[in-house]
């Protein structure tokens, strides 16, 4: 195998790993954004959460059967 053939096969193996690396980067970015959004929601007041539609914690306790 010549030096040119060896470098060509090595670069093609490196290129084959790129989609996996991009997928890993995209998943890490999505996980970071999800974590950031959860932190923002955790810091909102109870009244604000209620205003944007989050159910209250004690809704299940206060529901009556009709």
pLDDT of residue 11: 59
User: Is the pLDDT higher at 22 or at 38?
Assistant: 38
Render pLDDT for 25-66 as a digit per residue (tens, 0 to 9): 899 999 999 999 999 988 988 888 888 888 776 655 555 554
Compute the distance between CA of residue 24 and CA of residue 44 in angstroms, rounded to an integer. 31
Tokens of 66: 């009709």
Contact 17, 10 (CB under 8 A): no
Distance of CA 40 to the CA centre of its chain: 15
Backbone phi, psi, residue 33, to 5°: -65, -40
For 66, which DSSP code?
Answer: -
């Amino acid at each position: 195998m010549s030096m040119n053939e060896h470098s060509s096969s090595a670069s093609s193996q490196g290129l084959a790993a790129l989609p996996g690396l991009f997928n890993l980067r995209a998943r890490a970015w999505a996980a970071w954004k999800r974590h950031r959004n959860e932190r923002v929601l955790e810091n909102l007041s109870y009244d604000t959460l209620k205003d944007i539609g989050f159910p209250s914690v004690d809704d299940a306790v206060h529901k009556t059967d009709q």
